[in-house]
Structure 1
Amino acid sequence: MPQVDAAQIVHSIAEETHTPEETVARIYADALDQYRADARIHDYLPLFAARKVRATLRQNGTDTH
């Protein structure tokens, strides 16, 4: 899997959800840390973390779509 640019992921989620990048970055870093703690394979962790951030923001009503 190609190297993932965390800044681009954060920016994309922030635009999609109309959430400040600082907030998204914090949630993304927390999600990534949680997955890294138990993962044996790290290739897809950025994808899983991004998915979790989107779900968290949707659940909290931040997403205006």
Structure 2
Amino acid sequence: MATPNVDDEMVKMIATDTNTPVETVSRMFAETWAEYSEGAQIMDYLSVLVARRVRDNLQRWKQDSH
């Protein structure tokens, strides 16, 4: 189930780059969006910030699991 805030192309790109299932990335993106957008008044760059956080978290998680 897609949420309106999830950028499908960005999610697919992050999933491919990090070798992570699209469903996992989509869920992380939606959760991070909810966290970042709460109380935010300016939304212009929110998708970029969310994508960066999701990518960083996935890369850190992959490094920690090795």
Tell me the TM-score range normalised by the shorter chain.
Answer: 0.7 to 0.9
Q: Gapped runs of 5+ residues in structure 1?
A: none
Is 2:33 aligned against 1:54? no
Runs of 4+ that moved beyond 2 A:
none
Q: Which has the higher contact order (CA 8 A, sep 6+)?
A: 1
Aligned alpha-carbon RMSD (Å): 1.7
**Identical counterparts, % of pairs:** 38
Cα distance per residue 1:10-49 (max 9 Å; x no partner): 0000000000000000000011111110311001110000
Amino acid at match of 1:26: R
Distance in 1, matches of 2:39 and 2:60, equals 24
- The total of aligned residue pairs comes to 59
Q: Which residue of 1 aligns with 2:20?
A: 19
TM-score normalised to the size of structure 2? 0.82
Q: Which residue of 1 aligns with 2:32?
A: 31
TM-score normalised to the size of structure 1? 0.83
